[in-house]
């Protein structure tokens, strides 16, 4: 399966940064036109995360949005999520055995080597980060920059989603450098109005 939702913007949740409940942020982003959401809340108790995942799936369903969950393959299967996003070093083949061929499986990568490994093991896409300095996810090494993104694209056949420091100012250059899409967290999660922030982001990608 090698299909990515359109428009090519993946909203990653983070309830710690959000000024309002995650569902409210997601609703605003969906209203603006976002059609791809990843529930990331890894520190949330599994039962609570499953409940929230189901709520987001219901919220996105009427708009044809794809809602995924980070790392929790069991929750993805139980809730009927669009797929799962695995951490760097995760096993896409194992997730595929659980979820089947009809779900998206992504993997985080912080280097070309990690991205290649994910590709070899059957990932549908990778997020490559950090492209730019990021306040949301510090500690993942120096920014790869647009040159790092271009280099990765030259050596990979699967879609690369640019992550890290992505916002309305930086999204378009990532697509121009070969990214299949962009992933955003902080700029939308911290925004007073997620709908307005998402509209601003989508506008530069038209």
Residue 200 CA neighbour count, 13 Å, CB half: 14
Question: 108 — phi, psi (to 5°)?
Answer: -75, 140
Domain of residue 139, residue span = 9-205
Q: Going residue by residue through the chain, which has 206 residues, state the pLDDT in tens, using 9 for 90 and above.
A: 458 999 999 999 999 999 999 999 999 999 999 999 999 999 999 999 999 999 999 999 989 999 999 999 999 999 999 999 999 999 999 999 999 999 999 999 999 999 999 999 999 999 999 999 877 666 666 899 999 999 999 999 999 999 999 999 999 999 999 999 999 999 999 999 999 999 999 999 98
Q: Is 70 contained in some domain?
A: yes
| Rounded CA separation 148/165 (Å) | 14
pTM above 0.85, yes or no: yes
Cα dihedral 196, 197, 198, 200 in deg (nearest 10): 90
Q: Is 24 contained in some domain?
A: yes
Q: What is the pLDDT of residue 140?
A: 63
Q: What is the pLDDT of residue 49?
A: 97
Q: Inter-axis angle of helices 22-32 and 46-61, to 10 degrees?
A: 20
Q: Is 3 contained in some domain?
A: no
> How many beta carbons lie within 10 A of that of residue 31, not counting itself?
13
C-alpha dist (Å) from residue 176 to 83, 112, 199: 27, 19, 19
Q: Is 165 contained in some domain?
A: yes
The token duo for 12 is 């990653």
| Rounded CA separation 46/62 (Å) | 25
| Rounded CA separation 144/130 (Å) | 6
Q: What is the pLDDT of residue 135?
A: 72
Domain CATH for 189: 3.20.20.70
Q: Is 4 contained in some domain?
A: no
Instruction: Give per-residue burial for 82-113: e unless 16+ CB within 10 Å, then b.
Output: bbbbbebebbbeebbeebeeebbbbbbbbebe
| The total number of structural domains that make up the chain | 1
Q: What is the pLDDT of residue 137?
A: 60
Dihedral sign computed on CA atoms, order 47, 49, 52, 57: negative
| Rounded CA separation 114/100 (Å) | 23
Q: Is 171 contained in some domain?
A: yes
Q: Is 2 contained in some domain?
A: no
Q: Is 99 contained in some domain?
A: yes
Q: What is the pLDDT of residue 99?
A: 97
């Amino acid at each position: 399966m090698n299909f990515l939702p359109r428009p090519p913007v993946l909203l990653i949740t983070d309830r710690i940064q959000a000024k309002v409940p995650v569902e409210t942020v997601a609703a605003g982003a969906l209203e603006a036109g976002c059609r791809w959401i990843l529930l990331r809340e890894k520190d949330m108790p599994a039962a609570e995360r499953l409940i929230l995942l189901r709520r987001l799936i219901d919220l996105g369903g009427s708009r044809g949005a794809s809602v995924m969950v980070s790392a929790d393959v069991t929750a993805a299967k139980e809730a009927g999520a669009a797929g799962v996003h695995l951490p760097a070093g995760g096993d896409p083949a194992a997730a595929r055995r659980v979820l089947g061929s009809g779900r998206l499986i992504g993997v985080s990568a912080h280097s070309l080597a990690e991205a290649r490994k994910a590709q070899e093991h059957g990932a549908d896409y990778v997020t490559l980060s950090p492209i730019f300095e990021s306040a949301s996810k510090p500690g993942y090494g120096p920014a790869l920059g647009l040159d790092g993104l271009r280099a990765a694209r030259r050596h990979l056949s699967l879609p690369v989603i640019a992550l890290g420091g992505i916002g309305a100012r930086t999204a378009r250059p990532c697509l121009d450098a070969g990214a299949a899409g962009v992933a955003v967290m902080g700029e939308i999660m911290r925004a007073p109005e997620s709908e307005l922030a998402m509209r601003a982001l989508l506008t530069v990608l038209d």
